[in-house]
Chains A and B, each alone.
Chain A
């Protein structure tokens, strides 16, 4: 057998061992659906590696595996969440909320504390002797209580068993706290702390058939409505629970004025931001590339190496540095401005100036890239065309407009569109320079003047002072996904069309 085949068999063998191991783990965790998926996946992998027809897919498998696990699954999850009310106030599942409410018991403080002794018999069963506040003795065993008098033979029997010391009690706490003893009409004796038992009454009873919760004390019925148990008069029980609420988040996004207002503003600025970023960096980059393309220019290599430097500094470091430079009181830029024109500018506090600061930062970060790209594209333009044009008497501007620009756009257009898309979602720059601030007043959801869609969504989901709203955030995420997906889609259609043009030139 050749080496190649041997390697393949060993590799497949190892993979299958991993599958089996994971399958066992999933089975023991009772994650049956995931287990099913795993088995399907394992079958697929084995098929791909055994069948000769599936040869190409072997190359795709590793990258696709990671993509499906870490991108596709989160997308599906996000879709699911966007259809629920998951967020502050609705964190638990319904079962968990019901369980908590049912566990809720009212401590009868007037009944007082019951001291106790615990004993373990030969079979490991626990026996208790309770002393009520009034001095009465009770025998506790298997959930039942029996009143006894001093000297009762059953008490004597207990002395044959092992009495639990304090340390033993602590170690057995979980066991003991799970026990309850019926005292009378709905009252139970349960462990209150290490030293005593208390008298508890259950507060709520759940009726699954009617999906209602009954308050045993007041008699109020609570119906399950939109993630809360609600009484007829509107009061809600906490905790709430997460529930699928359909397209409500989307509806809120597009119809609730306090959500739509900021959303639209942020959306408009996001588009402006992306356009400005691409526009400015491209304009400057092209301009510099045209200058540097001139073979007569001296020190070209010096200029090129220096001008490329901003691109080599990681964006997050640059953003933080510029934030220090734009510091209103102590930043260098304002120091220089104060010295030259007499006053500084409230860079990060004023809505308009903050935007200007962002554009300047992005220009600094992005012009080198555009410069390189344009240089490369310029160099690929056939110089014969220029010679022909000069012969025809074309001016520099005409040469630029009719030859350089169109040919340039063919190579560069897809990159411009990609840059638009990138800046549309350029979280780091916005977050690190301004954090989206200054804030828009009167917005129900936390939006700032310099927030772009993605930073707005991030703050909605993770930094909202009024609690997190994962449902709404997921809805916005999907909207962002659709928009950028559409842009990408159009980009590639467009590029395809341009390709045809190029071939015909």
Chain B
């Protein structure tokens, strides 16, 4: 009985090690997308079938699951040919061998920063369809039609508003992504570039002179009551919507909410300080090709001919209004002042680093911000500790 059990166990183990890779169908394209882009892609698929007779299947997944699911499923052969994804996934996806370089027929049709975001080792790994960065929402009733152009201006205006119990600025906290402009405005950066134009994971510049100065400025604004302390995203929204905050620093995803609340708002770029513009992170979303695809060339054709068109890009924009990275479509879309504002905001943005080392940055950085918000540490000490920890973590994982 025992022997039988051991034999069975061994067999099970062996079976585990040899799960077969059934072919993902050659001659057919499978696309993984999220609920927002699925309807558009389904329509595009129909045209593709019509023109070439090649089936395109669309599978819907929650956006956040696509990257990790690809890692699990693609090597088994059950994976998709094309996925949508965020540019900062490149680090993991490329180093895990999960995506292929893409041949873009006409790069001049795209916003260069969008293409940059999808460049790795000098090759394009994705076709961008949307770019975004955070910017400044402002309440026109409180700060006027043109909003606030510099932090010096904001400080002045806030002094008047404080008497009414209104905050000058709110942003989600503690959130490094949203707080980055304060670090970058005076010269801080996450990863420096080496002489080959590749990001150097051991050159972390958050705690350099500019970074510390910016972080201290952030704390000053909080201490002066201009920035509300410890406001998570939904509290921030509440305050701005109720008119308790003159400006709000967040991204275009908030348009819907703000409009629905009936606030008389405007959207523009992050204010400047001492003449330097605040640089938020640029995020890009795009289409990528799986390296386990049996139809790589076909995928390239589909993307270049059917997706990189004004029609499709406009349809994608309509399904989920994010600023487009496709220039011909941008001309039409930017008639909308909000979209124009977002492009403005993105013009001073810096692509979020996509190298795998970026993953090691968030937690320690966020903790440093939290400590400063809770007044448990000085900005200099907090961010220096965080950077030490980050560099150590990166070294350990190399």
Contact = CB atoms under 8 A, between A and B. Distances in A.
A444 B395 CA distance: 12
Contacts of A34: 15, 18-19
Contact of B371 (A80, A167, A441, A464): A441
How extensive is the interface on chain A, given as a class? 35 or more
A31 B75 contact: no
Contacts of A220: none
Contact of A349 (B15, B27, B374, B389): B374
A76 B356 contact: no
Contact of B71 (A88, A97, A441, A446): A88
Interface in A194-222: 194
B396 A89 contact: no
B396 A258 contact: yes
Contact of A193 (B94, B297, B367): B297
Given A176-B297, A349-B374, A88 B366 contact: no
Nearest to A171: B52
B54 A170 contact: yes
A77 B235 CA distance: 44
B87 interface: no
A174 B294 contact: yes
Interface stretch (A2-10, A137-145, A418-426, A465-473): A465-473
A173 B8 contact: no
A91 B297 contact: no
A31 B15 contact: yes
A307 B134 CA distance: 49
Contact of B393 (A33, A439, A444): A444
Interface string B99-111: 0000101000000
Contact of B96 (A238, A349, A465): A238
A473 B9 CA distance: 22
A32 interface: yes
Contacts of B347: none
B52 A238 contact: no
Contacts of A444: 393, 396
Given A238-B97, A329-B235, A439 B366 contact: yes
B248 to A, nearest CB: 16
Contacts of B51: 167
B360 A91 contact: no
Contacts of B393: 444, 466
Interface in A437-473: 438-439, 441-442, 444, 446, 462, 464-468
Contacts of B231: 329
A16 interface: no
Contacts of B374: 349
Contacts of A173: 295, 297-298, 301
B230 A349 contact: yes
Nearest to B368: A441
Contact of B296 (A32, A177, A194): A177
Interface string B238-275: 10000000000000000000000000000000000000
Nearest to A176: B297
B26 to A, nearest CB: 5
B356 A89 contact: yes
Interface in B17-72: 17-20, 22, 26-27, 51-54, 68, 71
A439 B363 contact: yes
B95 interface: yes
A97 B75 CA distance: 10
A171 B54 contact: yes
Interface string B101-125: 0010100000000000000000000
Most buried by A among B22, B68, B97, B356: B97
A100 B97 contact: yes
Contacts of A31: 15, 18-20
A467 B359 contact: yes
A239 B97 contact: yes
A96 B103 contact: no
B371 to A, nearest CB: 7
A80 B17 contact: yes
A36 B15 CA distance: 9
A33 B95 contact: no
Contact of A238 (B13, B17, B94): B94
B300 interface: yes
A258 B11 CA distance: 37
B300 A193 contact: yes
A372 to B, nearest CB: 38
Nearest to A328: B230
A442 B389 contact: yes
Nearest to A329: B235
B163 interface: no
Interface string A68-99: 00001100110010000000110111001100
B27 A174 contact: yes
A192 interface: yes
Interface in A345-363: 349
A32 B15 CA distance: 8
Contacts of A80: 13, 16-17
Given A80-B17, A177-B297, A193 B105 contact: yes
Interface string B370-395: 11001000000000010001000100
B9 A465 contact: no
A191 interface: yes
Interface in B259-307: 291, 294-298, 300-301, 304-305
A88 B393 CA distance: 15
B74 to A, nearest CB: 8
B356 A467 contact: yes
A40 interface: yes
Nearest to B371: A441
B98 interface: yes
A51 interface: no
Given A76-B12, A194-B297, A239-B98, 5 more contacts: A91-B96, A173-B298, A193-B304, A441-B371, A446-B363
12 contacts: A31-B20, A32-B18, A34-B19, A76-B9, A76-B12, A88-B96, A173-B301, A330-B235, A439-B363, A442-B389, A465-B360, A466-B360
